[in-house]
Amino acid sequence: MDANSESTNGAAPPRPVFFFDIDNCLYPKNARVHDLMADLIDKYFATHLSLPWDDAVRLHREYYQNYGLAIEGLVRHHQIDPLEYNAKVDDALPLDGIIKPRDELKRLLADIDTSKVKLWLLTNAYVNHAKRVIRLLEVEEYFEGITYCDYSKTPLVCKPHPDMYLKAMKDSGVEKYEDCFFVDDSYGNCKASQELRWTTVHLVEEGVKAPRTPASKHQISDLEELRTTFPQFFRQQQD
Ligand SMILES: [Mg+2]
């Protein structure tokens, strides 16, 4: 991994970067990880803020909508330690047996020509959860790096805040917005990245309600559609 050398040695033009969200993007929503996580977060709110259940659920939704991450509201308004929260929520998720390797995903990533594009993970999860999911999916080898939400630093920086996208660009060594490609299942994350002039793909799985106004230029229902949307990044058929 030498993110900087290619942009400074002048020999080859820098590769564009394709950023992949992880949760509900690299595995389908019907894995119900989101529901499991939401439940643990509701419990966390109820216990740590001593709230009745309905208030806990409501406040969780409110923070999620306002900040993109429930934890950001907890840090801002309740001085919660994000790493303790992470241990009780993300790291406590029973993911083994729920997130499994998928041949289609492995084939898709293997068919991408990494001499033409660099694959990079971009997640609002903390690094533990992100690495755990990628390991369970058995796709670590395809990505050259990861930009995650660092729960050990305040203020937290996460999607859809522009600073998170700029952090991802810096981490992955890409300088131009037009060299950034991105797929995410979150409307807000897609919209914000497109406003930065990234080329963004909103993943709206079948069975999930499509937004009235598309979040971004591209909208797909399956990651397989990346093959036809960005043929320039895939290996040519051999025969
Ligand atoms: Mg997601």
The structure tokens 């920086």 sit at: 157
Domain 3-28+100-233 and domain 33-95 have a common topology:
no
Q: Could you tell me the distance, in angstroms and rounded to a whole number, from the CA of residue 142 to the centre of ligand 1?
A: 18
Q: Could you tell me the distance, in angstroms and rounded to a whole number, from the CA of residue 66 to the centre of ligand 1?
A: 16
Q: Could you tell me the distance, in angstroms and rounded to a whole number, from the CA of residue 9 to the centre of ligand 1?
A: 35
The CATH fold assigned to 3-28+100-233 is: Rossmann fold (3.40.50)
Residue type, 231: P
Dihedral over alpha carbons 189, 194, 198, 199 (to 10 degrees): 100
**Cα–Cα distance for residue pair 187/209, rounded to 1 Å:** 11
**Cα–Cα distance for residue pair 25/226, rounded to 1 Å:** 13
CA 144 to chain centre: 15
pLDDT < 50 positions in the chain? 1-7, 239
- The whole-number pLDDT of residue 5 equals 46
Token pair belonging to 177: 């917005």
Q: Could you tell me the distance, in angstroms and rounded to a whole number, from the CA of residue 86 to the centre of ligand 1?
A: 17
Task: Tell me if residue 85 falls in helix, strand or coil.
Answer: helix
**Cα–Cα distance for residue pair 123/148, rounded to 1 Å:** 5
Q: Could you tell me the distance, in angstroms and rounded to a whole number, from the CA of residue 185 to the centre of ligand 1?
A: 5
- The whole-number pLDDT of residue 94 equals 87
Every domain of the chain and the residues it spans: 3-28+100-233, 33-95
Q: Could you tell me the distance, in angstroms and rounded to a whole number, from the CA of residue 27 to the centre of ligand 1?
A: 9
- The whole-number pLDDT of residue 147 equals 98
**Cα–Cα distance for residue pair 53/46, rounded to 1 Å:** 6
pLDDT for 35-69, tens place per residue? 888 999 999 999 999 999 999 999 999 998 888 88
How crowded is residue 188: how many other Cβ atoms within 10 Å of its Cβ? 13
Q: Could you tell me the distance, in angstroms and rounded to a whole number, from the CA of residue 183 to the centre of ligand 1?
A: 9
- The whole-number pLDDT of residue 3 equals 47
CATH number, span 33-95: 1.10.150.450
Q: Could you tell me the distance, in angstroms and rounded to a whole number, from the CA of residue 191 to the centre of ligand 1?
A: 13
Q: Could you tell me the distance, in angstroms and rounded to a whole number, from the CA of residue 38 to the centre of ligand 1?
A: 13
How crowded is residue 36: how many other Cβ atoms within 10 Å of its Cβ? 16
Q: Could you tell me the distance, in angstroms and rounded to a whole number, from the CA of residue 154 to the centre of ligand 1?
A: 22
